[in-house]
């Protein structure tokens, strides 16, 4: 079965910065030392170089016993990791269904209740960035375990919360655990072997599409029992943790030391950025907005200075310095922005303008899962020939055009089809990015996953916040159509950047003969 991650395993015809899988196998065969002879010092540096596709060189090759047991432990890896990641999607889309009931039960206002959703975005975005940094240093198993503890604690607080403030604190803790779990899941997927990764990522993409389509109906059905249940649906990931633990690594991958100052700066910058994105929706006072802006800028400066000057420190060097990862992260932020806007706007339109109930909306969105899987498979067929970034740009452009079309034909069928395309674009983006990360050095994959997820969820928070802010001035349908600019502009920016870089290289090649 074709997968949307072929770029991570099948190189396009043009030369890539990493060797192909076949060349990698030849490298392994040449670099295997004889058991009786130690590795010569002159070759030790070459043998410790990370190789693409999640495999290590001979110097770091696993023991024969580990290799023999690996297939048994990796059976169903894609399904397990997809189900581990999927419940994080419930944190916003399912909880939004129960928001009116929560307002009545807690005796608060709708404006104040927005913090219930904002807390999830803050916790999720902050935890994905910091967990990625820590996963490289301490191993994905510890991160997954810590995330499960935070998720369980946050769930317990939400279940017994007597007021809004306690509920928001519980949701913040729950989201932090959910963010750590999603980062551990995607890092574990990127660390799979080259042979196991394509099938696993294809299954992860299909699973994410299916879980996304069930979010609204899950929120509607559980809200019939209690408004608190949709608030804690991300805790469903706890049921999968025991089955996913064998896929994680107990030992770290040799990442750089985790400096608490740098990790704290990343967390503060992420939280501040997400708060500023939703400042209008939250109606933050001017003084509070200025204070958040100052703290965010200070944390961003500390982050840049801490990570830019440290050898292999990860964040800026791994993602911002890598053209493919940078492009995929930018496009992913735009796609997530469009998807979160669709998940926010489409249910409201169906409720208010077409008199659908919460359960009705969930039922009509279910077929979107099949459509999303189909769209992801179609996109994957062109990755080997066009390349991962180009396919992502095409997917984002298409998604943006369909979002814009909702203003022209705001029929329920068109809205449902838009959500299906959103699910397909979302699953394609996440799995392609994870596949690209799998080609990078093992000791930096957690950082790349964490920063990528931060960009994705930050874009999602921006999309829902802007759609909400534009609701009153232009109407919800037109606000959703305007959100089509997010994926389209992201794709256009990446395309222009690659075209400019190619033009510079071409001019340099033409000028080099004259220089010589």
The full DSSP string for 345-403 is HHHHHHHHHH---HHHHHHHHTTHHHHHHHHHHHHHHTHHHH-HHHHHHHHHHHHHHHH
Neighbours of 351 (CB within 10 A): 15
**Rounded Cα gap, residues 253 and 172, in angstroms:** 29
On whether residue 426 sits in a domain, the answer given is yes
Q: Is 107 exposed, middle or buried (0-12, 13-18, 19+ CB in 10 A)?
A: exposed
Phi, psi dihedrals of residue 398, rounded to the nearest 5°: -65, -45
pLDDT at 29 over 50: no
Name the nearest CA neighbour of 85 among 196, 203, 237.
237
Place of tokens 């958040």: 292
Task: Please give the pLDDT value at position 67.
Answer: 37
**470 and 479 in contact (C-beta within 8 Å)?**
yes
pLDDT at 302 over 60: yes
**Rounded Cα gap, residues 27 and 268, in angstroms:** 43
**447 and 132 in contact (C-beta within 8 Å)?**
yes
- SS3 for 168-190 is HHHHHHHHHHHHHHHHHHHHHHH
pLDDT at 62 over 60: no
Average pLDDT over residues 427-441: 84
Record the tokens describing residue 202, joined without a space: 């294809």
Considering only 125-139, 272-286, 369-383, 502-516, which range has the smallest mean pLDDT?
502-516
Give Cβ neighbours of residue 225 (< 8 Å, ≥ 6 apart). Answer: none
Higher pLDDT pick, 495 / 47: 495
What's the mean pLDDT when you consider all of the chain?
A: 77
Give Cβ neighbours of residue 270 (< 8 Å, ≥ 6 apart). Answer: 125, 126, 129, 130, 454, 458
Q: What is the pLDDT of residues 97-122, one digit of tens each?
A: 788 788 888 888 776 777 788 788 77
Task: Please give the pLDDT value at position 308.
Answer: 59
Q: Is 226 exposed, middle or buried (0-12, 13-18, 19+ CB in 10 A)?
A: middle
Neighbours of 356 (CB within 10 A): 17
Record the tokens describing residue 114, joined without a space: 């927005």
pLDDT at 162 over 70: yes
How many structural domains compose the chain? 1
On whether residue 129 sits in a domain, the answer given is yes
**Rounded Cα gap, residues 130 and 153, in angstroms:** 19
Considering only 60-69, 371-380, 403-412, 458-467, which range has the smallest mean pLDDT?
60-69
Name the nearest CA neighbour of 496 among 416, 389, 366, 423.
389
Q: How confident is the model at residue 372 (pLDDT cuts 50, 70, 90)?
A: confident
**Rounded Cα gap, residues 235 and 239, in angstroms:** 8
Instruction: Look up the CATH number of the domain holding residue 319.
Output: 1.20.1250.20
Higher pLDDT pick, 260 / 509: 509
Average pLDDT over residues 257-279: 71
Average pLDDT over residues 144-148: 95
On whether residue 58 sits in a domain, the answer given is no
On whether residue 378 sits in a domain, the answer given is yes
Helices and strands in the chain, H and E counts: 25, 0
**Rounded Cα gap, residues 231 and 403, in angstroms:** 28
Average pLDDT over residues 369-389: 77
Task: Please give the pLDDT value at position 112.
Answer: 74
**484 and 403 in contact (C-beta within 8 Å)?**
yes
**Domain range for 235:** 76-250+258-499
Task: Please give the pLDDT value at position 257.
Answer: 55
On whether residue 24 sits in a domain, the answer given is no
On whether residue 429 sits in a domain, the answer given is yes
Widest CA span of the chain, in angstroms? Answer: 78
């Amino acid at each position: 079965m074709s997968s949307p991650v072929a770029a991570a395993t099948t190189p396009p015809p043009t030369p890539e910065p990493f060797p192909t899988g076949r060349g990698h196998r030849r490298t392994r065969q040449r670099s295997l030392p004889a058991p009786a002879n130690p590795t010569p010092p002159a070759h030790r540096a070459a043998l410790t170089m990370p190789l693409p596709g999640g495999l290590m060189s001979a110097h770091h090759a696993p023991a024969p016993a580990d290799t023999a047991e690996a297939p048994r432990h990796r059976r169903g890896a894609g399904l397990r990791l997809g189900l581990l990641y999927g419940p994080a999607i419930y944190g916003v889309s399912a909880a939004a269904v129960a928001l009116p009931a929560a307002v009545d039960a807690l005796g608060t206002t709708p404006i104040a209740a927005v913090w219930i959703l904002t807390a999830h975005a803050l916790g999720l975005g902050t935890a994905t960035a910091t967990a990625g940094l820590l996963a490289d240093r301490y191993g994905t198993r510890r991160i997954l375990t810590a995330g499960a503890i935070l998720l369980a604690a946050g769930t317990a607080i939400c279940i017994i919360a007597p007021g809004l403030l306690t509920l928001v604190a519980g949701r913040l803790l729950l989201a932090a655990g959910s963010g750590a779990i999603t980062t551990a899941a995607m890092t574990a997927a990127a660390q799979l072997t080259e042979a196991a990764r394509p099938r696993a990522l294809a299954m992860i993409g299909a699973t994410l599409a299916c879980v996304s389509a069930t979010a609204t109906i899950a929120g509607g059905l559980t809200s019939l029992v209690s408004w608190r249940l949709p608030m804690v649906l991300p805790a469903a990931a706890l049921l999968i943790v025991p089955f996913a633990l064998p896929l994680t690594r107990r030992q770290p991958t040799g990442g750089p030391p985790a400096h608490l100052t740098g990790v704290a700066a990343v967390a503060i910058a992420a939280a501040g950025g997400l708060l500023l994105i939703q400042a209008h929706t939250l109606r933050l006072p001017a003084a509070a907005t200025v204070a958040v802006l100052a703290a965010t800028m200070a944390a961003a400066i500390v982050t840049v200075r801490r990570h830019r000057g440290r050898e292999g420190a990860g964040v800026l060097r791994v993602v911002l310095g890598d053209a493919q990862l940078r492009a995929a992260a930018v496009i992913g932020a735009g796609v997530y922005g469009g998807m979160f806007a669709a998940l926010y706007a489409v249910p409201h339109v169906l409720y208010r303008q077409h008199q659908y109930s919460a359960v009705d909306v969930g039922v009509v969105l279910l077929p979107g899962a099949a459509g999303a899987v189909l769209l992801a498979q179609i996109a994957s067929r062109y990755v080997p020939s066009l390349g991962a970034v180009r396919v992502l740009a095409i997917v984002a452009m298409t998604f943006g055009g369909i979002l814009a079309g909702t203003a022209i034909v705001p029929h329920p069928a068109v809205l449902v089809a838009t959500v299906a395309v959103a699910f397909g674009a979302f699953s394609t983006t996440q799995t392609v990015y994870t596949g690209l990360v799998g080609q990078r050095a093992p000791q930096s994959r957690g950082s790349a996953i964490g920063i990528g997820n931060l960009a994705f969820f930050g874009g999602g928070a921006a999309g829902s916040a802007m759609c909400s802010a534009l609701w009153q001035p232009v109407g919800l349908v037109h606000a959703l159509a305007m959100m089509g600019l997010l994926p389209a502009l992201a794709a256009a920016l990446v395309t222009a950047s690659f075209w400019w870089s190619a033009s510079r290289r071409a001019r340099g090649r033409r000028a080099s003969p004259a220089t010589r």
